[in-house]
Structure 1
Amino acid sequence: MAIVERDSELGVLAAGARAAAGGEGAVVLLEGVAGIGKTALLRQGRAVAEDAGLTVLAGVASALDRDFPFGLVHQLLDPELESAGGERRARLLAGAAGQAASVLDVGAAAGGQGGSGAADPAPTHAVLHGLYWLVANLAEERPLALLVDDLHWADLSSLRFLEFLGRRLHGLPVLVIGATRVGEPGADAELLAALAGGPAARVLRPAPLTTDGAGVLLATTLGEQPEPTFTAASVEATGGNPLLLNELARAAAESGLGGREQEVARLAELGSPDLAAAVERRLSALGPDAVAVARAAAVLGERATRDDLAALARLDAVAATAAADRLARAGVLEAGGWTFVHPLVREAAQASVPPGERADLHGRAAARLSAR
């Protein structure tokens, strides 16, 4: 999906990356309703951070992980520790950073705050301080960017750490970029507000697209520039929401519409875009293997391996990979993996699962991830 009318937001992200590369940290929060373009901006944030020479560590919070203390912190920091040799690992965890071992080390002593219990106790100051120094040690090697999508679903321990870190970024070459949905049930509004109100924080709230911006986005899907009346009708139907505009454009293209004024009445016949229904139709057309893989990917999340995905979908690895490729060509998954093109598409895939099957999928996914 094209990114339009986001020059201001892109400028702030680029400035944050340059500042972190120069030794001064920042927090940038992308806040807004579902489908407004936060995830697309987060991907651009990754690109500008990499261009500025930052090491990028990324995570996606999920409802499945919400009850696992420091689940999001594990996503962000585990890969660096797991890939580090003994000497580098010792250096990263030296001094005060050693307190982080109680939640990150596989071999941590009993009684640490890690593990897979459902409780989410408030982390001690020593643990937060240790995680801060682990991040500082990583940033000393090379300026760092921490990217988090769906921050509203973060476990409380991880959210407390990000807020703790956000108040201590002066002189630290670390950029934190998070995307959060407003008004999400279960989100810790107080902690999110504290993170947004930190001394190094900047909150960006992408606006709905204007008719000019909508015209550019519609043209990328329709293959030609829509006429003004058609564009205006599309904006009215979607409220200028980029994701919904994209879905409406896809439905229009599938119906043979080219964006002309005389087609406005036919556009109205398509109705308001129902993302869940559109995704379900797209999945059904791709066959049962694709449906099974999409549902498994929606439950497992980005940290799943190909073997996890195949096992949950009850397919062999070759069939699961082929189904994932079909889903990518259909605009459901990103190419080359099982990351959904947008969190709302993932939620729509989950919503298509019958309740009984959904409970079974979640139970089997939780057991497999916990065992691994």
Structure 2
Amino acid sequence: MNPSFLKIFFLFILTTFVGCKKNAEISNAAKFKISNSIQYAKGLEIYKYSGFSVLKVKNPWPKANKDYSYILQEKNGIIPDSLKQNTIIQIPVKTIVVTSTTHIPSLEMLGVENTLIGFPNLNYISSPKVRARIDSGNVEELGNNQSLNIEVAINLAPSIIVGYGIDNNNSSLDNLQKSGLKVVLNGDWNEQSSLGKAEWIKFFGALYGQEQKALSIFEKIVKDYKSTLTLAEKASSNPTVLSGAMFQDVWYMPQGESWGSVFLKDAKSNYLWKDTKGTGSLSLSFETVLEKGQNADFWIQGQFSTLDEIEKTNKHYTQFKAFKTKNVYSFGNKKGKTGGNLFYELAPNRPDLVLKDILKMVHPELLPNYEMSFIEKLK
């Protein structure tokens, strides 16, 4: 037989066998695949296979131009060759570094806060449980999110580092990856729906092999949120609401499609800037806000702690009806012992509590015995 023909025939058999083997691996894994288990979050997808899961983060920051896939490998799980180019993480993770206070509540709710060994700027953390670990020396200070202490992080050698970015430029995370540490991006902050943010507990559930517990926690949050929505339908009025305050001669308040605006709408209140487009912040002059919001029934902000402080800061604030009627509320008063803001830490994870707080604020008759979790009326 022609030697050239034998060579071609051998290569054909070899490539066919290798291709079939790879296809068989993928096919075998796919037999156990379930559909994406995420319902509300736009930037997260989780696919479960036999022996591993695929965790896909789609929008870690606004206008991100790529998806990030992570393979969560269970003990003795077999990863197909086609997926081995992705970051592979052994689960359940044993130790973790997180970089946002919004990550802390998920660890607590899953009962794995004792695996936290590092965090940037420890003073921001409000959680009493985690603060106790900090005081005991079990959680290391890592500096700032955009300039993490690389040496300390490497010495800690966590199973994973959960990072986030406001864009594609985070040299600290890049350097940690180059040092051999596993970095996983989290995009919970980029979600705009209240339940979408809260659903990121499933991200941590997958990392700890606690998918069912995360699902159970989230389903209860959804149920409670929806029951409060139903209660809000009983409201007989639609009070007007002003938000934000001045900072360096500019009044900042949420745009009409933002996370905060949705709560005001769901609580059956009339946020005066609800028709503005966008999910960020409006930057307005005092005169513009006064013209439109002077007669608002309620004013909610996070900058001031007392009515006296408001008046001393700017006497023109006293022109607002909400100030005169003492209907000014703050989400910034409840803090941890080192000054961390409880609202910023826990509220994204517990939209059910936020909605109840706002409903209590604008329609107190519907929740006569409810005590607010985050918001306080100023005195």
Query: Could you state the TM-score of these two structures normalised by the residue count of structure 2?
Result: 0.29
Larger proportion of strand: 2
Question: Which one has a bigger Cα radius of gyration?
Answer: 2
Specify which structure has the higher proportion of helix: 1
User: TM-score, length-normalised on structure 1?
Assistant: 0.30
Q: Give the structure, 1 or 2, with the largest relative contact order (CA under 8 Å, sep 6 or more).
A: 1
